[in-house]
Amino acid sequence: MRRFAPLAVASCLLFAVDVARAKSPEASLLNRGRAIAQQNCGRCHAVGAKGDSANPKSPPFRLLARKYPLSNLEEALAEGIVVGHEGLEMPQFRLSVAQIEALLAYLKSIQR
C-alpha cells in the first residue's frame, strides 16, 4: 500500500476546490461582469482589484462603493450612463438585465 505525504494530499484537495469554484455559477457571473467592465470602462477606469485608472479623474472600480451605493447604479446602467471625467467623455452604452446583474456582482466582489 502506498502512503501519500499529507502536504501532497492537501495540495490536491485545494486544487480540486479551486477548480470547482472556478466552474461555479458565481465564478461565471463574476467573470462576465469583469469582461463587461473591461470592455465598456477599462480604457479609463481601473476595473480590477488593483491598479491605477488610466484617467486619473476616473475612480478605480474597487473604490466605487465609497462614493455611491452600488445598487444605485442599476438604473443608470439600464438607461445608459452619460457623464464625463473632465475632458474625457464616457462611451454611451446600455446593459441588459443579465449584464447589469453580472457587472454589479463583479463590482461588489472587488470593493475595498
Strand partners, 89: 84
Judged against a pLDDT cut of 70, whether residue 12 lies above it is answered with no
Q: What is the pTM of this model?
A: 0.72
User: Quick one: which of 33, 18, 6, 3 has its CA closest to 102?
Assistant: 33
* 53: phi then psi, degrees, rounded to nearest 5: -70, 145
Q: Is the Cα dihedral 61, 65, 68, 73 positive or negative? A: positive
Residue 34 falls in which region: left (phi positive, over 0), alpha (psi -120 to 50) or beta: alpha
Distance CA 44, CA 106 (A): 17
Residue 78 confidence (pLDDT): 83
Per-residue pLDDT, averaged over 73-96, amounts to 74
Q: Is the Cα dihedral 15, 19, 20, 26 positive or negative? A: positive
Average of per-residue pLDDT values in the chain: 80
Residue 82 confidence (pLDDT): 63
Judged against a pLDDT cut of 80, whether residue 62 lies above it is answered with yes
Residue given cell 463574476 in the structure block: 30
Q: Are 82 and 90 in contact (CB under 8 A)?
A: yes
In this structure, whether the domain defined by 6-110 belongs to CATH 3.90.550.40 is answered with no
* 37: phi then psi, degrees, rounded to nearest 5: -60, -45
Judged against a pLDDT cut of 60, whether residue 93 lies above it is answered with yes
Residue that wins the pLDDT comparison between 58 and 1: 58
